[in-house]
A and B are shown apart, each in its own frame.
Chain A
Amino acid sequence: MAAGKEIRTQIKSVENTRKITKAMEMVAASKMRRAQERMKAARPYAEKIANVATHLAYAHTEYKHPFVIARENVRRVGLIIVTSDKGLCGGLNTNALRLVMTQLKQWKAAGVEVDVTAIGNKGLGFMQRLGANVVSQLTGIGDTPRLETLIGPVKIMLDAYMEGRIDALFIVYNRFVNTMKQEPTLTQLLPLAKLASEDEASLRTHWDYIYEPDAQPVVDAMLKRYIESLVYQAVAENIACEQSARMVAMKAASDNAKNVIGELKLIYNKTRQAAITKELSEIVAGAAAV
């Protein structure tokens, strides 16, 4: 019964695979909860700093920061790509990178050059294979993103913008909608879109802050942190996305493995039965011949 043995080995190997995917599913589930909490914990800061930035947009500052001035002629743009470090998380990175590809094609058609900052291994590898101009990178963020580690890569892009090497800055990441749904998103970071929401009429009156020590360094520091917080938020969301995408993908894999095992068991039993039937009929036929 050679076929039976082969099928048995196959069942065993699928069972082993299932054990692994099941374990990964559970690990991802517990990491996902923590990643979501971290994502939520980052929200107050993002909200507050957005508030301050809005106030700043309304204030009649004597000093206009380059970040808020839109440039008419865009020849070169910066793109921050946030992906996961590891694979096995469904179509998460593929979706984000597909979005990047479409955007890159558009830019290419418009004659716009692109500088890339890659956060996460998958995007980095992809961009390198593509031959894109990767100016900075950050990998191995782990499960707990730290703002501190993001300062460097972001600063390179901000400096490039200040020096006029790039005229706009974009970020691509997966937005966390819910556990089942992640949405690849492209957002413009620089120049800062007018943060103004119409209802805050009280802020429209003529006023300005007192700046200490001077307007320029304070506004500089403020906007730098604002951009960093946006990037941090993107990274935190991407990690939550990664974990939930992985959980879903691994759950699907475990379910598939279960189905495959079921089918294989059926085939195994059928061949076993067939062999027994065959043997029996041979014996009966043999007895009849005697």
Chain B
Amino acid sequence: MAMTIHVDIVSAEKALYSGSAEVVIAPGQRGELGIHPRHTPLLTTLKPGTVRMKLPDQAEEVMIYVSGGILEVQPHVVTILSDTAIRGNDLDEAKALEAKRAAEDAMKNREASLDYAKAQAELAEAIAQLATIEKLRRKI
């Protein structure tokens, strides 16, 4: 039997694959990486692409799509931490700005939002009162 290496592919939201393989081929930042058992420790980022695995006793390769991530190789374990989103510095920056802007808006409209909450409470009260009056009317 050929030597195998344990492979774990996980994303933040779920586990994608766990099992052993003879070879793992991953889309590294500098091109495809083929990892055999007893590979030297390696840490690299992945590009979006397909991870291919040759499983023992199976002719066909298993393919799993990852949208980037991190690959860690220990002599007998390969760990792929898949991203759930397409990452990029610009994209991350845009998201950060968005979160910041929301906070600033909320700060600016603090009065407004408080008033809104208050108005909502008053509205709920008024509706409840109306409903009671309605019920009383029907009974009389």
Contact surface of A with B, Cβ cutoff 8 Å: 5, 9, 12-13, 38, 41-42, 44-45, 48-49, 51-52, 55-56, 59, 117-118, 124-125, 128-129, 134-139, 146-149, 151-153, 155-156, 159, 207-213, 217-219, 221-222, 225, 228-229, 232
Contacts and interface: CB of A to CB of B under 8 A. Distances in A.
Contact of A210 (B11, B15, B41): B41
Contacts of A228: 12
Given A42-B14, A55-B41, 15 more contacts: A44-B8, A44-B15, A45-B81, A52-B81, A59-B41, A128-B106, A137-B103, A138-B99, A138-B102, A139-B102, A152-B92, A152-B99, A155-B93, A213-B44, A225-B83
A13 B129 CA distance: 12
B42 to A, nearest CB: 5
B110 interface: yes
A45 B99 contact: no
Nearest to B103: A137
A209 B44 CA distance: 9
A123 B101 CA distance: 17
Contacts of B132: 13
Contacts of A217: 45
Interface in B29-54: 29-30, 33, 40-45
Interface string B50-88: 000000000000000000001010100001010111010
Which A-B residue pairs are the 5 nearest by beta carbons?
Answer: A152-B95, A212-B44, A152-B99, A148-B85, A136-B99
A156 B99 contact: yes
Contacts of B93: 155
A212 B28 contact: yes
Contact of A134 (B84, B98, B103): B103
B76 to A, nearest CB: 12
Interface of B is mostly: mixed
Interface of B: 8, 10-15, 18, 28-30, 33, 40-45, 70, 72, 74, 79, 81, 83-85, 87, 92-100, 102-103, 106-107, 110, 113-114, 117, 132, 135-136, 139
B103 A135 contact: yes
29 contacts: A9-B136, A12-B135, A42-B13, A44-B8, A45-B11, A45-B15, A49-B81, A52-B43, A52-B70, A52-B81, A55-B72, A55-B74, A125-B117, A128-B110, A135-B103, A136-B99, A137-B99, A146-B13, A149-B95, A151-B92, A151-B95, A151-B96, A209-B42, A210-B43, A212-B30, A212-B33, A212-B42, A213-B44, A218-B45
A190 to B, nearest CB: 16
A136 B96 contact: yes
Contacts of B81: 45, 48-49, 52, 225
A281 B70 CA distance: 89
Given A44-B10, A138-B102, A9 B42 contact: no
Contacts of A152: 92, 94-100
A137 B79 contact: no
A124 B96 contact: no
Given A212-B29, A213-B30, A229 B12 contact: yes
A13 B135 CA distance: 10
